[in-house]
Amino acid sequence: MLDAFHGPLDLLLYLIRRQNLDILDIAMAPLTRQYLEYVEAMRSKNLELAAEYLVMAAMLMEIKSRMLLPRPPAVQAEGEDPRAELVRRLLEYEQMKQAAHRLDALPQAGRDVIAISVFIEKAAGERLPDVNLRDLAEAWRGLLHRARLGAHHHITREELSVREHMSRVLRRLQEHRVLEFGELFDPARGVPVLVVTLLALLELARETLVDITQSESYAPIYVRLAHAKPH
């Protein structure tokens, strides 16, 4: 049951989407009840339950109880919604999950691509080897860590445009020709912007508009326009 989910946020997101709940205005009572039912089912079967699921259960019950307590109108107007931190974490997790799916959808040598050897007397143009996806994932985790260290961002309903970020990436590459992977991201703008930038970059790679390359494993990762000549 719970082994089908990658942690408590994954389970919560599944329950929210299954019930068509508004993630920005979560109905805490039904969500908490369903979550606790999943947790209790695991405990009744004497299956090992990760502590993080119990921590989340306690957090949900606390939020639910805080929302049931009466508050003066002035406090309601000024105070933060008890669900705000949970909503922020859910939105960040959902965006990172979407980015991970996009990353996994890229062709991978040995899984989607069969390598063949072809003798070419003289290459028309040098092309750097494809990037090691593990190194790319590690670079991405480093950016997320930096963003979280200084993140104090409010959640808004404004949707970030992937197409707009694709244009920004292309403009920067037209100016600089080649950039290191991390130079295309600004951790100070927060996790949501990082995720949208990554989605834009992966979409550009899928459309063969940019190359994401490195000379060897653990070497720096570079991004350049697909048809730009390397230095």
pTM to 2 decimals? 0.47
Q: What is the 3-state secondary structure of the chain?
A: CHHHCCCHHHHHHHHHHHCCCCCCCCCHHHHHHHHHHHHHHHHHCCCCCCHHHHHHHHHHHHHHHHHHCCCCHHHHHHCCCCCHHHHHHHHHHHHHHHHHHHHHHCCCECCCECCCCCCCCCCCCCCCCECCHHHHHHHHHHHHHHHHHCCCCCCCCCCCCHHHHHHHHHHHHHHHCEEEHHHHCCHHHCHHHHHHHHHHHHHHHHCCCEEEECCCCCCCCEEEECCCCCC
pLDDT in tens, the chain (231 residues): 666 787 888 899 999 999 888 888 888 999 999 998 888 887 777 566 667 787 888 888 888 888 877 766 654 555 578 888 888 888 888 887 787 777 666 555 444 444 444 433 333 344 444 666 677 777 777 777 777 666 545 444 344 677 888 888 898 988 888 999 999 988 887 777 788 888 888 888 888 888 888 888 788 889 988 876 555
